[in-house]
DNA sequence: TAATTTCCGACAACGTGTTGTATACTGCAA
DNA sequence: TTGCAGTATACAACACGTTGTCGGAAATTA
């Protein structure tokens, strides 16, 4: 007899969605298996047919949100110059806004930011290291610096009650990356 | 009869230190009250004389690490120009390295970065908003952008097995802030 | 010695992960 | 099409560990 992929996939999805609804409101340590199954309408034991524990649900969600290599933002600018593909980052973030803003927020998972950075970093490294005379160690720090600021400002953006229009944010980030922050601040 | 402040302060400190030793190795949700008291050499019940739960210990540690207004880095540069006091940030981080690198790391507390930013932000806002024609909303985003990158790169720095020398990192950050990242990358 | 603080042992309630069981579905043979 | 066997799916009950809260014992001070 075959499995019933429809049914089980649905059950799993129901559990995931119940988990996510709870995770949006509270820290993961406060979420019990009972909370999840009650919300999803199952027996507590059923949960263990699909996940080993509460953290496994989070991990599954996170892994689905780590961009695959082929979905990664293109790293070459239209001009042919190298640089950071800001618009691609914005698009990636906006596409998964609902999840990213929670996972990267104050009640989220501190490891997720690292996962995200580590998924994006290699392809950036590969392309940007082509610049003649580029110091690889330094490049590594520059990328880390940039991804941190991108993730930071995007999370902040989504957290605002009245966010800046998207194109203004884009222009601002562009200016900061092209000219540096100091130029925007000093007299 | 008087309290015995020495004794109780010592007990509390012992509990805090036992907690921290555990927290450095594992996520907070895996730490039980029993683990802490066993490590510190007390009965489990004693813990509740000092803290309401495991999270209260972390909160106490965090609050001691949030810089007070008067310890905050000075915001005016030696030149008299406005800008980000990079060296003061580096000093602040280095001073509390042991705790910051754990709290801001992958097993740390995602809310701590926000706490830190929010503690630093007001004084930066106050000084930097003096620049004539400065847009406050924009300034807010710029500061968020900058603090994110600072925290990100510092955490990364401390995580490296063979970190860049401090002065080199300082020079790099300075260059990135003065000239922007793009200039460092594009051909 | 008396008063009070500090610490401890025991308790009920709750959450966890596992195991054995009932129900419902599927494929196949008649 | 119908009935049956086999299996997937969901459930109820179990033992165990953790939590937070008691009342009481030991230690300290005046």
Record: fold of A5-62: Tetracycline Repressor; domain 2 (1.10.357)
Q: Determine contact: A170 vs chain B, CB below 8 A.
A: no
Q: What is the mean pLDDT of chain B?
A: 88
Residue A82: pLDDT over 80: no
Contact yes or no for A148 and B146 at CB 8 A: no
pLDDT of residue B71: 62
Residue B127: pLDDT over 80: yes
Residue of A185, A186, A187 for testing the chain B interface, max B β-carbons within 10 Å: A185
The answer to whether A44 CB sits below 7 Å from nucleic acid chain D is yes
CA of B35 to C1' of D28 (A): 28
Contact yes or no for A176 and B180 at CB 8 A: yes
pLDDT of residue B2: 44
pLDDT category at B79 given cuts 50, 70, 90 is low
Contacts 24+ apart (CB under 8 A), B89-97: B89/B150, B89/B154, B90/B154, B90/B166, B90/B169, B90/B170, B92/B67, B93/B154, B93/B158, B94/B166, B96/B65, B97/B158
Residue B1: pLDDT over 50: no
Whole-number Å distance between alpha carbons of B123 and A55: 39
> Residue A82: beta bridge partners?
A76
Mean pLDDT of B79-107: 85
Which tops the pLDDT comparison, B168 or A5?
B168
Residue B186, CA atoms < 13 Å, CB-side half-sphere: 18
Residues in chain A closer than 8 A to B135 (CB atoms)? none
For residue B187 the two structure tokens come to 């051909």
pLDDT of residue B164: 92
Q: Report which DSSP code applies to A82.
A: B
Residue of B100, B110, B127, B168 for testing the chain A interface, max A β-carbons within 10 Å: B110
Residue B83: pLDDT over 60: yes
pLDDT in tens, A62-74: 999 998 766 665 5
Residue B68: pLDDT over 80: no
Contact yes or no for A111 and B114 at CB 8 A: no
Q: How far apart are the first and last CA of chain B?
A: 76
pTM of the predicted protein model? 0.90
Question: Under 8 Å CB-to-CB from B102, ≥6 apart: which residues?
Answer: B23, B24, B108
Whole-number Å distance between alpha carbons of A128 and A169: 24
Mean pLDDT of A108-117: 95
pLDDT of residue A98: 93
Residue A121: pLDDT over 50: yes
Q: Exposure string (b/e) for B49-79, b if CB count within 10 Å is 16 or more?
A: ebbeebbebbebbbeebeeeeeebbebebee
pLDDT of residue B185: 83
Contact yes or no for A153 and B148 at CB 8 A: yes
Q: Which of the nucleotides in strand C have any atom less than 7 Å away from a protein CB atom?
A: 3-10, 14-20, 25-27
Query: Residue written as tokens 């809310």?
Result: B111
Whole-number Å distance between alpha carbons of A184 and A105: 27
Residue B8: pLDDT over 70: yes
Question: Under 8 Å CB-to-CB from A56, ≥6 apart: which residues?
Answer: none
Give how far B35 is from chain A: nearest CA, Å: 17
Question: Under 8 Å CB-to-CB from A71, ≥6 apart: which residues?
Answer: A92
Residue A99: pLDDT over 70: yes
Mean pLDDT of B109-124: 93
Residues in chain B closer than 8 A to A84 (CB atoms)? 181-182, 185
Mapped onto helix, strand or coil, the DSSP state of residue A179 is: helix
pLDDT in tens, A43-60: 999 999 999 999 999 999
For residue B77 the two structure tokens come to 């540069």
Residue B109: pLDDT over 70: yes
Q: Determine contact: A183 vs chain B, CB below 8 A.
A: yes
pLDDT of residue A81: 56
Protein-strand C interface by C-beta, 7 A:
A 1-2, 4, 32-34, 44-45, 48, 52-54; B 1-5, 7-8, 11, 41-46, 49
Mapped onto helix, strand or coil, the DSSP state of residue A76 is: strand
Residue A185: pLDDT over 90: no
Contact A61, A108 (CB under 8 A): no
The answer to whether B26 CB sits below 7 Å from nucleic acid chain D is no
pLDDT category at A134 given cuts 50, 70, 90 is confident
pLDDT in tens, A8-42: 788 999 999 999 999 999 999 999 999 999 999 99
pLDDT of residue A131: 81
The answer to whether A29 CB sits below 7 Å from nucleic acid chain D is no
Which tops the pLDDT comparison, B73 or A170?
A170
Give how far B109 is from chain A: nearest CA, Å: 7
Taking every pair of C-alpha atoms in chain B, what is the biggest distance, in angstroms? Answer: 76
Percent of chain B past pLDDT 70, that is, above it, reads 88
Mean pLDDT of A121-133: 86
Chain A residue with minimum CA distance to B105? A110
Q: Determine contact: A152 vs chain B, CB below 8 A.
A: yes
pLDDT of residue A100: 96
Contact A82, A128 (CB under 8 A): yes
Give how far A184 is from chain B: nearest CA, Å: 8
Q: Provide the residue ranges of all domains of chain A, joining segments of one domain with +.
A: 5-62, 66-185
For residue A35 the two structure tokens come to 């909370």
Lowest mean pLDDT among A81-90, A129-138, A167-176, B49-58: A81-90
Whole-number Å distance between alpha carbons of A168 and B4: 60
Contact B177, A183 (CB under 8 A): no
Lowest mean pLDDT among A47-51, A63-67, A76-80, A113-117: A76-80
Q: Report which DSSP code applies to B162.
A: S
pLDDT category at A1 given cuts 50, 70, 90 is very low
Which tops the pLDDT comparison, B8 or B123?
B123
DSSP-assigned letters across all residues of A92-142: HHHHTHHHHHHHTSTTS-HHHHHHHHHHHHHHHHHHHTTSTT--HHHHHHH
Residue A79: pLDDT over 70: no
**Minimal Cβ distance to A149: which of B152, B157, B169:** B152
The answer to whether B55 CB sits below 7 Å from nucleic acid chain D is no
Mapped onto helix, strand or coil, the DSSP state of residue A12 is: helix
Chain B residue with minimum CA distance to A127? B185
Nearest to B177 by CA among B77, B37, B96, B104: B77
């Amino acid at each position: 007899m075959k499995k019933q992929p429809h049914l089980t996939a649905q059950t799993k999805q129901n559990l995931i969605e119940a988990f996510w609804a709870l995770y949006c409101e509270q820290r993961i340590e406060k979420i019990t298996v009972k909370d999840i199954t009650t919300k999803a309408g199952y027996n507590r034991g059923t949960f263990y047919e699909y996940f080993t524990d509460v953290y496994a649900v989070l991990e599954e969600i996170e892994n689905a949100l780590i961009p695959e290599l082929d979905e990664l933002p293109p790293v070459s600018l239209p001009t042919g110059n190298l640089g950071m593909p800001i618009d691609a980052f914005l698009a990636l973030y906006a596409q998964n806004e609902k999840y990213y803003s929670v996972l990267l927020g104050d009640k989220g998972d501190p490891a997720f930011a690292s996962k995200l950075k580590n998924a994006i970093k290699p392809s950036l490294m590969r392309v940007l290291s082509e610049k003649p005379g580029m110091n690889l160690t330094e490049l590594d720090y520059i990328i880390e610096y940039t991804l941190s600021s991108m993730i930071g400002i995007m999370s902040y953006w989504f957290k605002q009650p009245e966010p800046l229009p998207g194109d203004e944010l884009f222009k601002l980030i562009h200016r900061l990356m092209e000219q540096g922050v100091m130029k925007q601040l000093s007299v």
